[in-house]
Amino acid sequence: MKSNLNEMPNKTETTPDVPRQFQRNTLMKQPNYWIFAAVTLLMMAVPLFTSSNSVLFMLTNIFILGVFAMSYDLLLGYTGIISFGHAMFFGIGAYSMGLSLRFFDNAEAGVLVALAAAIVLCFIVSFFVGLLSLRLRDTFYALITLAVATIFLIAAEQWRSLTRGSDGFNFTADIPNNLFGFINLLDRQTVYYLGLVFIVAMFLIMRRFIYSPVGRTLQAIRENENRVASLGFNVLHYKLISNVVAGVIAGLAGIMYAFSIRFVNPHSVLGVELTIDVLLMTVIGGVGTLVGAIVGAGIIEISSHWLMGLRDVHPIFERWVILFGIIFILIVMFFPAGIVGTIRQKWKARRSSL
């Protein structure tokens, strides 16, 4: 069945609207501009109320991981595939930036080279991993992404002359304080605003992507792959697009992460632990909602920080992941729409009953 997909005529150009009939009403109907604008304004005002670097640092990381989680949601929520190797793109981004800041004397050149290298690498890797695995049974995608990501992890650990092995390296000294003449990346507030601009821009871009004909076709594939294939769509082609978009955006998030934490090591930016974190964020927040991914990132970041702080009270708090593991299982079994999705369903049910 699947082997015939390539031979099927691609009808996207002639009938872009066909998949609309499959659209699920769990999707956002209209963008709620007011909430969006209010939250953005609130976030812009945060530095006025606090000068605490640790608060800004945490919020910045939530923005960045929020983008990373949204890119994961493109795969899990909008395409219906589970990747166990999404961290590799994040790691590629973070390592590109770290390495090129270390090796280039000119900060602008370093940043631009890192940006180009990360985008190109993420594009190539996501394209070929997708090409290899997406044409096989859906479960192989999880398997192959896990394996390829592990190879990246091992490479980062072993190629010591370049990556300094499993210790990683700190590049605070190389962080530009006068990028393009006006950006001081050593200033937490600047990085905070950069992160805010980043998440707003990426959110709008991904929304745009989801409501594009390609995005709608992807959701139709998620609902019923065979039917979309029988309508003449090349399913593999669409899944590949989603895979590449998600990979490149994850790479960009990795770049931002490098600016924020100024340090990379294999397990923190390439490890499967990171992929599992982002899986938790997406599922707990709400699969297939984008906003859920951001909410999930916030919840996990803040509560893990808080629970780790309690480890002096009792060492069990160091194992906070256990709690999230249980919550995660319960959500998958009983509230598959996650927090945002479930709230949205309730809200909709109430409105329609009035």
Partner 1 sequence: MELHLTLIFNGIATGMLIFLLAAGLSLIFGLMSVLNFAHGALFMFGAYAGTYVYILLGGWAGGWSIFYFGLGLLAAAVIGIILGFIVERTTIRQVYGDHLRQILVTTGVMLVVMELVRVFWGSNVIQVGRPQVLDGRTEMMNVLFGHYRLFIIAFGVIVLVGMLIMLKKSKIGLVVRAGVENKEMVQALGINVRRVFTFVFIFGTTLACIGGFLWGPYQGQINPNMGMDLMLIAFIVVAIGGMGSVGGSAVAAILVGLSEAYMAYFFPPGALAVNMLIMAVVLLVKPTGLLGATR
Report d(CA 251, CA 91) in Å as an integer.
7
Which residues from 68-107 bind partner 1, rule CB under 8 A? 76, 80, 82
If one asks whether residue 276 binds partner 1 (CB under 8 A), the answer comes out as: yes
Provide the residue type at 249 as one letter: I
If one asks whether residue 112 binds partner 1 (CB under 8 A), the answer comes out as: no
Out of 214, 321, 335, 343, which residue is the one contacting partner 1 (CB under 8 A)? Answer: 321
Cβ burial, residue 133 (10 Å; 0-12/13-18/19+): buried
If one asks whether residue 46 binds partner 1 (CB under 8 A), the answer comes out as: no
Q: Which stretch binds partner 1 (CB under 8 A): 19-27, 92-100, 101-109, 323-331?
A: 323-331
Number of residues that bind partner 1 (CB under 8 A): 37
DSSP symbol at 170:
E
Provide the residue type at 261 as one letter: I
Contact string (CB under 8 A) for partner 1, positions 279-308, x = contact: x---x-------------------------
Query: % helix / strand / coil in the chain, to the nearest 5?
Result: 75, 0, 20
Contact string (CB under 8 A) for partner 1, positions 150-169, x = contact: xx--xx-xx-----------
Report d(CA 72, CA 281) in Å as an integer.
10
Cβ burial, residue 27 (10 Å; 0-12/13-18/19+): middle
Phi and psi, residue 264, nearest 5°: -130, 145
**Which residue reads 């992941």 in tokens?**
321
Give buried/exposed letters for 96-106 (b at 16+ CB in 10 A, else e).
bbbbbbeebee
**Helix, coil or strand: residue 184:** coil
* Residues 38, 44, 50, 56, Cα dihedral to 10°: 110
Provide the residue type at 230 as one letter: S
Task: Give kind and range of the element (H or E) at residue 264.
Answer: strand 263-264
If one asks whether residue 316 binds partner 1 (CB under 8 A), the answer comes out as: yes
Neighbours of 302 (CB within 10 A): 13
Nearer to partner 1, 152 or 193 (CB): 152
Q: How far is the CB of 62 from partner 1 (least distance, A)?
A: 21
Q: How far is the CB of 275 from partner 1 (least distance, A)?
A: 10
Which residues from 123-152 bind partner 1, rule CB under 8 A? 132, 136-140, 142-144, 146-148, 150-151
| Rg value, the chain, Cα | 21
Q: How far is the CB of 289 from partner 1 (least distance, A)?
A: 16
Q: Which stretch binds partner 1 (CB under 8 A): 29-37, 212-220, 293-301, 318-326?
A: 318-326
Q: How far is the CB of 333 from partner 1 (least distance, A)?
A: 5
Q: How far is the CB of 76 from partner 1 (least distance, A)?
A: 8
Out of 32, 332, 346, 347, which residue is the one contacting partner 1 (CB under 8 A)? Answer: 332
Residue ranges binding partner 1 (CB under 8 A): 76, 80, 82, 132, 136-140, 142-144, 146-148, 150-151, 154-155, 157-158, 272, 276, 279, 283, 316, 319, 321-322, 324-326, 328-329, 332-333, 336
